[in-house]
Structure 1
Amino acid sequence: MRLIGFAGWSGAGKTTLLERLIPELGRRGVAVSTIKHAHHDFDVDRPGKDSHRHREAGARQVLVASANRWALMTELRGAPEPTLAGLLARLSPVDLVLVEGFKRDRHPKIEVHRAANGKPWLHPEDPRIVAVASDVPPGGAPHAALPWASLDDIPAVADLALRLAAPVEAA
């Protein structure tokens, strides 16, 4: 497996970009999985559902399965947050893993930047950023050395992702 991360400030369009990128990679025959870091106390379950009731009752893990999909929810209950490496080890093998978030981890990343946010570029401070996807080119030093693709040019972003992804073992 290979992986490439996507890092950027909130509101830069990371999720929207991945939502458009995944079908493009699929059209190219690339099997894709994603890992998304959530910064908030998120929940994929809903109060009142049997699985939620099991977790609330104290179950450490709840596996929900149907004919269409299955999901395993694990309550950390004070255990440390899982690392990216630990999460990658849980995935079934695919061609490419797209990682959203985990911007402090040491894997190659494409910076997603939107000028209207008024936020600074991340790549001058993060040597693991290997390319930029933005609504404006990142002109001038120290930006000139990085490959760039427009946020609207999904085939170009796919090319960058495939070219710059690293083997999981190296991440």
Structure 2
Amino acid sequence: MRVYGVTGWKNAGKTGLMERLVAEITGRGFTVSTVKHAHHAFDVDQPGRDSHRHRLAGASEVLLASGQRVALMQELRGAAEPTLDALLARLSPVDLVLIEGYKRARHPKVEAFRAEPGNPLIATCDETIHAVASDTPLELDRPVFDLNDTGRIADFILQEVGL
């Protein structure tokens, strides 16, 4: 499976870049899935719904299905967070999986960077970052793209993964 990441500090523009890349790459006829790492607790379920009640009753997994989508909720209940490789193995085959976050994972990435938050560049000490998408000019030993030039960033990623 071809994977490519978008990483960066909080408020660097990762999610916006991911959204634009998914639209751009699927618009070119490729299939794309995404993996997003959350550093906080989250819940896709709603209290009071049948599926929520199943989870509260102790179900390890709840599969919710309709004519529009399928959602599988798995409760870790104290177990370790699954590795990125384990999560990728659960996905159906697609042309490309875009991964948001997972800074320390070893897959190739583009770093989203905005000057305003004042965070340091990750790329200067991480060889898994193959390019930077920035809102300010930078002098680096790898490609630097305008953060809003989604087409060129998509071209770079697709060339990197062989699509």
User: How far is 1:78 from its partner?
Assistant: 1.1
Name structure 2 gaps, 5 residues minimum.
none
Residue 118 (structure 1) aligns with: 118
Structure 1 range deviating more: 63-72 or 151-160? 151-160
User: How far is 1:149 from its partner?
Assistant: 1.2
Residue 73 (structure 1) aligns with: 73
For residues 10-159 of structure 1, the aligned pairs below 5 Å read: 10-139=10-139, 143=140, 145-159=141-155
Q: Determine if contact 1:63/1:71 at 8 Å carries over to the other structure.
A: yes
Aligned length: 163
**CA offsets, 1:40-74, max 9 Å, x none?**
01111111111111111110000000000100000
Counterpart-to-counterpart distance in 2, 1:46 and 1:38: 18
Counterpart-to-counterpart distance in 2, 1:117 and 1:54: 42
Counterpart-to-counterpart distance in 2, 1:129 and 1:19: 19
SS at match of 1:42: coil
User: How far is 1:82 from its partner?
Assistant: 0.4
What amino acid maps onto 2:33 in structure 1? S
Counterpart-to-counterpart distance in 1, 2:125 and 2:42: 29
**CA offsets, 1:87-130, max 9 Å, x none?**
01000110000000111011111010001111100011211111
RMSD: 1.3
Runs of 4+ with >4 A deviation: none
Residue 169 (structure 1) aligns with: none
SS at match of 1:164: helix
User: How far is 1:4 from its partner?
Assistant: 0.5
Counterpart-to-counterpart distance in 1, 2:149 and 2:105: 26
Counterpart-to-counterpart distance in 1, 2:156 and 2:113: 15
Q: Determine if contact 1:133/1:148 at 8 Å carries over to the other structure.
A: yes
Counterpart-to-counterpart distance in 2, 1:126 and 1:158: 21
**CA offsets, 1:6-65, max 9 Å, x none?**
110011111111111111101111110000001001111111111111111110000000
Question: If the length of structure 2 is used for normalisation, what is the TM-score?
Answer: 0.96
User: How far is 1:164 from its partner?
Assistant: 2.2
